[in-house]
Amino acid sequence: MIEFFRSSGPWDPWVATTAGERLLFKLIQHHQEWKVLDDILKNADLRLGRRFEGLSSFFVGASILHLQQRLLRLAQDIRNQVDDRWEQGEMLRAKIHDVIQLTSIEYRGDFSALVEEVLAGAEQMHKEPPSTLSRLVRRNHKEECYSCGRIFGAIYKDAPAPNGLSATVDHIWPRALGGDTIEENLLPACPSCNSAKGHIAAWQMAWIQPVVFSDADEVNGLDSLRREVKIALHVRAAMAYAHANGSTLQDAFVAIGPREPPVRIDADQGYDFFNLRTHDDIRTNVRWIPK
C-alpha cells in the first residue's frame, strides 16, 4: 500500500472534505493497475539505496495523481462543450474509455459513481472564494500564514510598509484537483506561499530531483531550498498526521503548525527530499526514518 495512503479503515487515508479527495480515494480503492505496480515494487525486494518506501510511494502516488488530473481535465473540456449534466456524463464515460482507456477491467468500482465524482471535481476548478467566505476563514484562524507562519500586516522584505504582509486564502486540496471552495478546504496564507504551493495536493507531486545536495552545500544548501520543496515537505507531514489521526487535512495543518526551517532526519545520509523535514517531529508526533 502507498506510504501515507493507508488508514485504520480499509481504504481512506484521511477524512475527505472535497470532491477531489473523494475521487482520489475511489481511484485508490478500485483502480487495478496501480495495485499491480505496487505489488511489483513490494515483491521485487529492492532497496533502492535505502529509499524503497519513499521512492515506491512516489512512483505509485504520482501515477494516481497524474491519472486524476487527466480525468478532471477531460471533464472540464466536456463541461465547456455541453451544459446538460446527463449528456456530460455520457460523453465523459465514452472519453474515459476511448481517450484514457480506463474501462471496467481496470476500474472495478461503480463506474457511474466515478464519472459523477470526476464531474463534481471539475466543477470546482474555477471557483474563487467570495469575500464573505475569505473573511470567515481569516476570522476563524490565526492571523498568520498557515504555511510559513509570518504575521499578516507585519513588515517583511517582500511585504514593505505601510501595509505589510497581505492575506489570501489557500485551497488546501487545490481546485485543479477538484478542491471545493468551502471553509473546510481553506486556510489563510500569504500571497507568496499561496502562489508557490500552486497545485501541490500531495507530496508525491513534488519535483524531488533538485533537492539532492552534496556535502559542500551543507552551510547554504538548506537555506537556498526552493519554497516549493519546503511546502511539499510540509504537505508530507500534514498527510502523515491526517493519516495517523484520522483527521482532515485542514485539521492536520492546524495541528502541526507552520513549517519550520528544513533539517536532516538522519545525519549519516545526504540532503535529499526523503531525508528532510520541516516540522518538529516530537511536538507533532509525526516521525519517520528514511529507509
pLDDT, averaged across the chain: 87
163 shares its domain with 227: yes
Dihedral angle at the C-alpha atoms of 203, 3, 52, 277, nearest 10 degrees? 50
pLDDT, mean of residues 193-211: 86
**65-69, 86-90, 182-186, 239-243: least confidently modelled range:** 239-243
Element (H, E) at 239: helix 227-245
In the prediction, which pLDDT does 122 show? Answer: 95
Q: Look at residue 78 and tell me whether its pLDDT is greater than 60.
A: yes
Q: Look at residue 218 and tell me whether its pLDDT is greater than 50.
A: yes
pLDDT, mean of residues 119-135: 92
pLDDT, mean of residues 261-287: 84
Number of domains forming the structure of the chain:
2
Amino acid at 238: A
Task: Identify whether 13 is part of a domain.
Answer: no
Sequence-ordered list of residues with C-beta below 8 angstroms from that of 73, at least 6 positions apart, any chain: none
In terms of Cα–Cα distance, which of 276, 255, 231, 175 is closest to 14? Answer: 255
Query: Which residues span the domain enclosing 183?
Result: 131-284
Element (H, E) at 171: strand 168-171
138 shares its domain with 278: yes
Boundary residue ending a domain (78, 96, 122): 122
- Cell numbers at residue 138, please? 481569516
Task: Identify whether 164 is part of a domain.
Answer: yes
Distances (CA, A) of 97 to 91, 100, 227: 10, 6, 38
101 shares its domain with 140: no
233 shares its domain with 203: yes
224 shares its domain with 258: yes
Q: Look at residue 120 and tell me whether its pLDDT is greater than 70.
A: yes
117 shares its domain with 143: no
- Quick one: three-class SS letters along 117-128? HHHHHHCCCCCC
In the prediction, which pLDDT does 18 show? Answer: 96
The alpha carbon of 7 is separated from its chain's Cα centroid by a whole number of angstroms, namely: 16
Task: Identify whether 4 is part of a domain.
Answer: no
Task: Identify whether 278 is part of a domain.
Answer: yes
Q: Look at residue 41 and tell me whether its pLDDT is greater than 60.
A: yes
Q: Look at residue 7 and tell me whether its pLDDT is greater than 60.
A: no
Q: What's the pTM value of the predicted model, to 2 decimals? A: 0.91
Q: Look at residue 9 and tell me whether its pLDDT is greater than 50.
A: no
139 shares its domain with 235: yes
Q: What is the pLDDT of residues 247-261, one digit of tens each?
A: 999 999 999 999 998
